[in-house]
Structures are given as C-alpha cells and as structure tokens.
Amino acid sequence: MKIHSKLTTVATTLAVALLSSQALANDMLSRLSVPKGYELSYFAKDVENARQMAVGKDGTVYVGSRKAGKVHALIDNNRDGVADKKILVAEGLNMPSGIALKDGDLYVAEVERIVRFKQIAKNLKAPIKEVVFDDLPDKRHHGWKYLTVSPEGELIIPVGVPCNICAEDPKFGRIFSLNLETKKLSTIAKGVRNSVGFDYHPVTGKLWFSDNGRDMMGDDIPPCEINRVDEIGQHFGFPYVHGGSVLDPEFGEGKSVTDYTMPALALQAHVAPLGIHFYRGEQFPKAMKHQLFVAEHGSWNRSKKVGYRVMRANVQDGQIRGYEPFLTGFMENETTYGRPAAIAELSDGSLLVSDDYANAIYRISYNNK
C-alpha cells in the first residue's frame, strides 16, 4: 500500500509539472508584446531548454540546449512558419548550448570540446558524432558556449571565466577562432567575462558580441556590454574594468579605464545579454535592415529583476544610436514567465527567438498590410 501510495504521489507530481509547463507555453503568446505591425506566433513548443539556433539551407532549424544536454532538429515541411516535426539529434552532451552550420556539417560546442555531425540534413535518422577539437577547458562555470562561422570559414568559440571575478588567464575570458583544417586556436578578443552571443555585421564584417558583467557589486553596477571588435586581440577590460567605466574593487587598482576598449553600448547591470543578431532579411520595414537584436536573458543577482526581453539596437555608421524594447512580457511583477536566449532568422525574413525557460521558440513576422 505504501509503495502504491508513493508511486501515485510521484505520478501526480509529474502530471502537475507537465500541465504547468503546458499551461505556461499556451499562455505565453497572450503575455508577450511586439510593436505595431508585427505578429508573434509559435514556431515550436516543448523544445527543452532551447538555446542557440542554426538554420539550414533546407529550412531545418537546429537547436542547442544547456542543462538539458540535447540537440534537436525542427522541420517545417509545409513552410507555414510552424515546425511540424521534432527530431532528437543528440542527448547526454555536456551543455551543448552553442551550435553552427558550415558546409552542411553541424558543429556543437560542449564545455570541453567541439563535436561535428557531418552532412546532418542527410543523416538525421542516424547522425554520427565525431570530435573535432577537444582542447578546451573543462570548467562548467560559464563553460557553455555560443558558436558562429567567421567570413574566413573559421569557427568562433568563446571561453567564459570560471568565476564571478578572478585573475586573468589566457585559457579563459577570451573569444577564439579555430581553424578547422590546422586545429590552430587564435585569440580574437581578450578581457571578455562571459560572451554567449555574437554576430558579424553584414556590411562591415566586424564581429559584435555581448558580454555579461560581474555580480556582487550591487543592483546597478557594473554594466553588461555590447562590444565591437575593431582590431584582432583587443582587450575589453575584464577583470580590471567593467562596462568601460567601473574599476574592479579587487583587480582594478593601478588600472585606467582608458587602457581598455570601450563597449559599443553599456547596458543596465545584470540584464544578461545573450544571443545577438543583425537583421538581414527583407520582410521587416527597410529601417530594420542591419539593426541589431539583443536577447536579454534577465537578472538573478538583483533586488528587482531587469532584462527578460528582446531589444533592438539602432546601429548607424558602426555606432549604436538608440536602444529600445522589441519583444516584452517575459517577466511581470517580479514573476518570470520566460527568458529569451537566442535569435535566428528564417529565409522569409521572420525572426526566431528561443526561450529556455518556457521551452519554446517564437516566430516574429511583419504584416505589411
């Protein structure tokens, strides 16, 4: 009787959790808001812990995760903007948050290595995993990653610092470029605390990246950052200077803010910017062309929550001239309903936004009527 009672309790708990998750997903569209003229819909639900996305030439959307340890493929067969098939590509991986496509191969960043699934679109039923590079640090603190492919065809890989604040170490706090032929790892940027989002400007070719500021300095300092790499090897301040303006109380002694690269934009402290994306499509109004969208994942180290939204940075002539909300409603009255993590673009010019809290991927389209 006791065993039966325990099983019943477990089953009830699981059922309640499942219903709560489904209710959250079903309720999100009514909570979220986009500017007038735009429409919000689901591209996919029940995508566990959805993080970075990569869109294949055939329209398949590949999705990484962090805690879930899974990679999924989402297929929209009839191209109606809603995925009608979800395929598990891999599971049991070590925080496979970052993914990228190159020449038909799917690259996935685990904490300590990069793996590849060759010609993934042709092998979805039986994907074969191979290790491409396994000489990355194995520290899980800020160890999850983001990936992209450079214009030169190299894999761009960030390695966050294994701490809140700690001494500079050449293995951590950098953005690297990996030559996939020679396996040589080169430094693109230094002094980067924890970048989980970057993109190349479609015109200038310069790399822009987000960076999460340190914690435990209060509600309002230091700023999180959006940065632009103008020269290879630039130093962006960590652990000495934060947000281009705040000297670290432990490591900033004897340093000057002028010794390091200023951010393109200093954000509010603790908003936690993750994925960023320059809009390349034709569906949105012309004014949106090459504008930068930023997924603010949201704070944890703050007395009142901030972030929990997708922002649009008005980029003109390489400078950010404005910063305003674009997708909101993930948090209300200190209650979290969702957390935007990454942004991707479909071939029709609509945007996808992943939500690793509500296990969903939203699609933003523009109704030009």
Which two three-digit tokens encode residue 272?
A: 């936690």
**Helix, strand or coil for residue 121?**
helix
Mean pLDDT in residue range 20-46 = 85
| Whole-structure pTM value | 0.92
Burial of 221 (0-12, 13-18, 19+ CB in 10 A): middle
How many other CB atoms are there within 10 angstroms of residue 103's CB atom?
Answer: 9
Instruction: Quickly tell me which residue has 């960043």 as its tokens.
Output: 109
27 pLDDT band, cuts 50/70/90, is confident
Q: How confident is the model at residue 369 (pLDDT cuts 50, 70, 90)?
A: low
Residue 8: pLDDT above 50? no
pLDDT tens digits, 144-167 = 999 999 999 999 999 999 999 999
- Give the C-alpha distances (Å, rounded to integers) separating 246 from 167, 193, 237, 240: 17, 14, 10, 8
Reported as a single tens digit per residue, the pLDDT across 95-129 is: 999 999 999 999 999 999 999 999 999 999 999 99
CB 342 within 8 A of CB 55: no
Residues contacting residue 325 through CB under 8 Å, at least 6 positions apart: 309, 310, 311, 312
- What type of residue sits at position 367? N
Q: CA nearest 157: which of 124, 118, 115, 128?
A: 115
pLDDT tens for 289-348 read 999 999 999 999 999 999 999 999 999 999 999 999 999 999 999 999 999 999 999 999
For Cα atoms 299, 236, 306, give the angle at the middle one, nearest 5 degrees. 15
- Token pair belonging to 255: 């340093």
Gap between the Cα atoms of 252 and 216, Å rounded: 15
Q: Cα 75 to chain center, whole Å?
A: 21
Domains of the chain: 36-366 (2.120.10.30)
Place of tokens 């990246």: 209
Q: How far apart are the first and last CA of the chain?
A: 64
pLDDT at 24: 55
Length of the chain: 369
In contact, 311 and 326? CB cutoff 8 Å: yes
CA distance 312 to 169: 33
Provide mean pLDDT across the span 45-52: 98
Considering only CA atoms, which of 190, 187, 137 is closest in space to residue 162? 137
Q: What residues contact 297, with CB distance under 8 A and at least 6 apart?
A: 271, 272, 273, 274, 307, 308, 339, 340, 341
Closest Cα partner for 109 from 98, 123, 124, 125? 98
The mean pLDDT of the chain is 94
Instruction: Give which of 50, 46, 45, 43 is closest to 81, Cα–Cα.
Output: 43
Residue pLDDT, tens place only, 194-250: 999 999 999 999 999 999 999 999 999 999 999 999 999 999 999 999 999 999 999
Which alpha helices (H) appear in the chain, and where do they start and end? 2-31
The confidence band for 25, taking pLDDT boundaries of 50, 70 and 90, is low
The model's confidence at residue 23, banded by pLDDT at 50, 70 and 90, is low
Instruction: Give 135's Cβ-side CA count (13 Å radius).
Output: 7
Contact 34, 364 (CB under 8 A): yes
Query: Is 90 exceeded by the pLDDT of residue 2?
Result: no
